[in-house]
Structure 1
Amino acid sequence: MRLPEGCVVRDLATHMDDRGDLTEIFRLEWGTGIEPVQWNFVRSEANVLRGVHVHVVHSDYLVCMEGSMVLALVDIRPESPTHGLSTTVVLKGERLQAALVPPGVAHGFHFPDRSSLCYSVSHYWNLVDEIGCRWDDPALGLDWRVVDPKLSPRDTNAGTAAEMTRLFLDERQRLSMAHD
């Protein structure tokens, strides 16, 4: 499976004994490039879709703890060697894996069944760094295999992938100029 540049999917090792099990879901030494400032835990009902969103600044580090999650990824960074690449990855709680999503890779999550997601971010949440578009915009090149998912009002009313990309590039340019 080919992923956008900078995205990583890692199998996590679970250690079991007669009491239960333990899984390390994050270690700084793994070299993920993310030093989390915030961890979140999300429960989703069946057929919930969250996204599609892209971040200018922050990275996401995701672990599906229970159920399953279809993680959709679209690289919108013009300078990236994987620019335009669209793909989906299925993460399942029964096979713990972690996924890293860097800035500039648009992403969304579909939960086919009731699921739990634990994720961290490299920077505190900021509305300016949360740019979205319609999950079903054909320009994304995603085959969700989903009909009529449950969406938030924000995701229901999101604009086009072209608008999301323009806003992302404008904000990235603005931040770049502010740092010069």
Structure 2
Amino acid sequence: MTARDLQVNADERGHLVEIFREDWELYDPDPAMSYYSMSYPGVVRAWHRHDRGQIDHFVCPTGRIKVAIYDDRESSPTRGELDTFVIGEHNQRVVRIPGDCWHGFKTIGDDSALLINFPTNLYDYDDPDEERLPPDTDEIPYDWDETLQG
């Protein structure tokens, strides 16, 4: 799980933010597609993971989301660890998520949020690469209503 701050180029007209560049090592391998989803305030979209080597890259250009990633991979040195990131219009970052880690996000604040993902695998409509758990599962030590400290 890694994150990269995105440069916000702002002037009196607004701002421009690069969210993908082929020369960023963060996007290795290159994305196969991109999509965006809009979520209303307080919505939790979790938990899921991928078993076919997909890596996700989350960017939130508007609104704010709290991303949580839980590593339960047996051979991983970070097994049992949970990372959280708050990203959005006032904290422009891209979060790289190993697809075989459980992950999800919650829209925080009073506004809807847009999430853009750059996955490394194409979505397979006939055989989706998704394993799911409910947001309140006992298998992951995380409470989506928990307030971040710091």
Shorter-chain TM band: 0.7 to 0.9
Within a 5 Å distance, the mapping from 1:94-113 to structure 2 comes to 94-112=90-108, 113=111
TM-score by length of 1: 0.73
The answer to which structure, 1 or 2, has the higher relative contact order (CA under 8 A, 6+ apart) is 2
Say whether the 8 Å CA contact 1:88–1:142 is kept in structure 2.
Answer: no
Structure with the greater alpha carbon radius of gyration: 1
Residue 114 of structure 1: how far off its partner (Å): 1.1
> Using the alignment, how far apart are the partners of 2:12 and 2:106 within structure 1?
34
Say whether the 8 Å CA contact 2:55–2:96 is kept in structure 1.
Answer: yes
Within a 5 Å distance, the mapping from 1:68-107 to structure 2 comes to 68-107=64-103
Residue 109 of structure 1: how far off its partner (Å): 1.0
Could you tell me which residue of structure 2 aligns to residue 59 of structure 1?
A: 55
Residue 128 of structure 1: how far off its partner (Å): 4.1
> Using the alignment, how far apart are the partners of 1:104 and 1:121 within structure 2?
12
- Percent identity, please: 30
- Please state which structure has a larger fraction of its residues in helix: 1
Could you tell me which residue of structure 2 aligns to residue 134 of structure 1?
A: 134
Opposite residue 71 of structure 1, the aligned amino acid is V
Say whether the 8 Å CA contact 1:71–1:88 is kept in structure 2.
Answer: yes
Say whether the 8 Å CA contact 2:64–2:89 is kept in structure 1.
Answer: yes
| Structure 2: gaps (5+ residues) | none
Residue 145 of structure 1: how far off its partner (Å): 1.1
Corresponding residue SS for 2:118? strand
- Please state which structure has a larger fraction of its residues in strand: 2
RMSD of Structure 2 on Structure 1 (CA) = 1.5
Q: Alignment length, in residue pairs? A: 140
Say whether the 8 Å CA contact 2:59–2:93 is kept in structure 1.
Answer: yes
Say whether the 8 Å CA contact 1:67–1:115 is kept in structure 2.
Answer: yes
Could you tell me which residue of structure 2 aligns to residue 119 of structure 1?
A: 117
Could you tell me which residue of structure 2 aligns to residue 18 of structure 1?
A: 12
Could you tell me which residue of structure 1 aligns to residue 30 of structure 2?
A: 35
Displaced runs of 4+ in structure 1, greater than 6 A? none
